[in-house]
Structure 1
Amino acid sequence: MLQAALIAASLTAGHAVQNADVAYTGPIRRDEPKIYRMTFAATVSTPMERRAENRLNFNLQDTPIVFPLIEQGAYSEIDASSLAGHLWLGNVEDTTLPQRSRIDRGAPMGTQLAIMPIAQFQGQSLRWEIAFDVQCWASEADDAALGQIAWPREWPAEVSDALKPQMYIESDDEIFKATVERVSEGKLRMVPPYYAAKDLIRYCLNEIRVSGDGINKGYNGELQGLEMIGAKQTATSGTGGPHDLVCVCVAMLRAAGIPARPVIGISEGGRKGRRGRAEFLSWGEFYLPGAGWIPFDPDAMRGKGLRNADVKRPWSQLGTIRDLNERIPLAYHFIPPVSVSVPRNPAVWGWDMRPVKLQYVDQFINLGIVSKGAGAIRVPQAPGGTR
């Protein structure tokens, strides 16, 4: 188990959460909190071979496993004291893991990184897991008030990472800059940023054909990670998965000078609401001064009759998302924003295989969600501030 005292000190250092008994009454508020126990477990192995003697072994030494933590997101908060991690090498638990584990701060977008080093291992399969309690809120937006917010002279430094390109979101590519100019007819800043964001998101919904569910599974239905190609390739081809649609929307907003980020998380049943099975899903957030982070779910917005909808009217699944308290945010990056490698499919975590790196590695992921009931009404000045 990760050392709770170390985790708590690291997570709360220099950060205080404002508690209140009444909901924030600004342009967007968060309410109806729910608490969950989240477990993310991964079995990592070398690929099977027809002849057992041909199967490769891991040769690992001081190999860090890296898992992102959103300490306090706009609509979620981790209970630091509940954080726990485990590691099994072969079938034997490494009970010395707590002595080596740590939390690194300073990653982009306020992400913290749980580091679980593998001291030494030679073998073909290992398993690790991380678990924590998290409180999640629903969102409720005052659409008219959001539409009154003007473009700032400059964005807060705390959201600058949300204006930069990242893996799968090539927002500095000319295709996005040119598209923003064309869609806005060169008049982007003549309308409030909230309405500009809605119009750009609508364009993405109209232009991108979504194929598949964005999940890669094995022959027997095992979860192997996300299936995606990224914003640039999706924008070029006009086709991608639901995670790619999120990437295109975020890339367009960043190219327009509006801070935006993807949110990769899990929920029970995923998009299809299959109870008893936790699955990946992703959505987006963009930032407005005086309001904070505005959530939007591009995949859920499809088919909602938005092609000719008035940007001054509320849109389904943008701003107000009542089931946001049933989603657990895991990361703002599909791959941790550090020098790591990943198995065949991205799944928010990564590792740095040392000293021998294998080109192909298989992973099987198990996601667990246990509801712990209603949460406390803890509302900051705005949802998540700039965090």
Structure 2
Amino acid sequence: MSQKTEPTETHRFLQRSRCVSFGAVLCLTILLGADFPVIGNPAPPLARNSPRVYDVTIRVNPRSSASRGWPYVEQTNWSYLSPTSFRITNQVNKDLPYTSEVIREQTKQWHVSIDAKEYQVHFTETAFASTLENDAANDIAWNTEWEEDIAFYIKPSLYVRSSDPLFSKIVSNTINKETEGPNIAAKKLIRYCLQHTNSNGEFANDDAMRTTGLQIRGAKYALTSERQVSATDALCACIATLRAAGIPARPVVGITDVSKNGSKLKQPKYVVWGEYALPNAGWVPFSPERMRGTVDNLNLNEAWEGLGSWRYLNRHVPIAINFDLYDAKGAVQEIQMQFRSSPSE
């Protein structure tokens, strides 16, 4: 899927000017006075806590004559990447030149282009756990107008063809906007998708210490296939159904060192989770695989672990939003995720 981009910047390695350009985007957001906190601290009833800092290295072999580049998520409500830590190197840690383009519709995601057949990506990331005060969230009303960069996530996109009649039918049969707010509606739609998808629990094609990208065919496939589908496909179904209901929602591709229940993994792996926009509060993170089999009979007015309140979100480092993956989609990759510290926010 082609993206409109800002003018290209070229770097031998990370320059001060790039930090200035990142800061300009942040300043613009503040000056506009947007009610929705696109990045940084979310607003009540959402809150973040328990930060954890990781050093991440990804060794990449695109398996082709040319690299398609690498995704870079600068900041979300639940994470931020240290700009001065970002490096592209060869296999012996020598800095390589690269160019970077901000994706216009996703102002905090960048496309990094590298003129190298093999390379390594290095960065330091801080990730937060999340909490959602459920009663207050349930009282929030529907929003009829969104800022452009939030409304973008209502539109159909790659693997999330939310304009298909299948999704509008699910919405009309599952929720009632006249009697329930967006948070309750989101829970009902996510639960529907969990109950009507048969997930194999896997997000990526993993082999020992390597991965060759995500297992993914898309949202409609997840809800119509008679076979098991990937956990990535099941997440796509949730995102498409939320969008069909008019709730901005987006998939987040990242790296984790824990299972869905918080058990330490032997090797970091790719994982995909979702976020939906709660008016004036921020992006509500959710993990369908964490909730699978646990929310079928839960009261909609109660808190659900893995939706809004997610204690292990701080073990998840994002690398891409909306499946703008470039080499991460299918290159041979070796992932290292080293815990550094747990600072106070």
- In the TM superposition, what are the counterparts of 1:52-201 in structure 2 within 5 Å? 58=65, 65-87=68-90, 97-98=96-97, 101-118=98-115, 126-184=117-175, 187-201=176-190
Confirm or deny that 1:317 pairs with 2:306.
yes
Report deviation, 1:331: 1.1
SS at 2:186's partner residue? helix
Report deviation, 1:93: 8.1
Partner AA of 1:300 in structure 2: R
Partner AA of 2:109 in structure 1: Q
Aligned residue among 8, 14, 19 for 2:25: 14
CA distance in structure 2 between the aligned counterparts of 1:211 and 1:14, rounded to whole angstroms:
40
CA distance in structure 2 between the aligned counterparts of 1:39 and 1:326, rounded to whole angstroms:
15
Confirm or deny that 1:226 pairs with 2:214.
yes
Report deviation, 1:326: 1.0
Confirm or deny that 1:5 pairs with 2:16.
yes
Confirm or deny that 1:32 pairs with 2:50.
yes
Show CA shifts across 1:68-108 (max 9, x none).
222111100111011110146xxx9886x32xx22212343
* Aligned position for 1:235: 223
Report deviation, 1:38: 1.3
CA distance in structure 1 between the aligned counterparts of 2:99 and 2:62, rounded to whole angstroms:
21
Q: Which runs of 5+ in 1 are unaligned?
A: 47-57, 120-125, 349-361, 378-387
Instruction: Tell me if structure 2 keeps the 8 A contact 1:4–1:80.
Output: no
SS at 1:295's partner residue? strand
- In the TM superposition, what are the counterparts of 1:251-330 in structure 2 within 5 Å? 251-271=240-260, 273-304=263-294, 306-330=295-319
SS at 1:210's partner residue? coil
Instruction: Tell me if structure 2 keeps the 8 A contact 1:103–1:112.
Output: no
Partner AA of 2:331 in structure 1: Q
Runs of 4+ in 1 over 6 A off after TM superposition: none
Q: Identify which range, 238-247 or 257-266, moves more after superposition.
A: 238-247
Residues 93, 31 of structure 1: alpha-carbon distance in 2 compared, 3 angstrom cutoff = closer
Partner AA of 1:369 in structure 2: M
Partner AA of 1:229 in structure 2: R
Report deviation, 1:263: 1.0
Larger Rg: 1
Show CA shifts across 1:144-189 (max 9, x none).
00001001231222201110111111111111111111222xx234
Report deviation, 1:131: 1.1
Instruction: Tell me if structure 2 keeps the 8 A contact 1:215–1:280.
Output: yes
TM-score of the superposed pair, with normalisation by structure 1: 0.76
Instruction: Tell me if structure 2 keeps the 8 A contact 1:159–1:259.
Output: yes
Partner AA of 2:106 in structure 1: M
Partner AA of 2:76 in structure 1: G
CA distance in structure 1 between the aligned counterparts of 2:74 and 2:209, rounded to whole angstroms:
31
Aligned length: 321
Residues 117, 329 of structure 1: alpha-carbon distance in 2 compared, 3 angstrom cutoff = closer
SS at 1:13's partner residue? helix
Instruction: Tell me if structure 1 keeps the 8 A contact 2:52–2:314.
Output: yes
CA distance in structure 1 between the aligned counterparts of 2:272 and 2:315, rounded to whole angstroms:
13
Instruction: Tell me if structure 2 keeps the 8 A contact 1:140–1:321.
Output: yes
Residues 299, 212 of structure 1: alpha-carbon distance in 2 compared, 3 angstrom cutoff = closer
Confirm or deny that 1:371 pairs with 2:339.
yes
Instruction: Tell me if structure 2 keeps the 8 A contact 1:231–1:244.
Output: yes
Instruction: Tell me if structure 2 keeps the 8 A contact 1:71–1:111.
Output: yes
Report deviation, 1:31: 0.8
Instruction: Tell me if structure 1 keeps the 8 A contact 2:199–2:230.
Output: yes
CA distance in structure 2 between the aligned counterparts of 1:246 and 1:102, rounded to whole angstroms:
31
Partner AA of 2:151 in structure 1: S
Q: Which runs of 5+ in 2 are unaligned?
A: 1-11, 31-40
Instruction: Tell me if structure 2 keeps the 8 A contact 1:38–1:367.
Output: yes
Report deviation, 1:129: 1.5
CA distance in structure 1 between the aligned counterparts of 2:279 and 2:201, rounded to whole angstroms:
35
Partner AA of 2:336 in structure 1: G
Report deviation, 1:244: 0.9
Partner AA of 1:26 in structure 2: P
Show CA shifts across 1:258-301 (max 9, x none).
00011111111454744441101111110011211111110110
Percent identity of equivalent pairs: 29
SS at 2:25's partner residue? coil
CA distance in structure 2 between the aligned counterparts of 1:271 and 1:314, rounded to whole angstroms:
17
Report deviation, 1:225: 1.3
Partner AA of 1:175 in structure 2: L
Residues 158, 25 of structure 1: alpha-carbon distance in 2 compared, 3 angstrom cutoff = closer
CA distance in structure 1 between the aligned counterparts of 2:182 and 2:201, rounded to whole angstroms:
32
TM-score of the superposed pair, with normalisation by structure 2: 0.85
Residues 224, 86 of structure 1: alpha-carbon distance in 2 compared, 3 angstrom cutoff = same
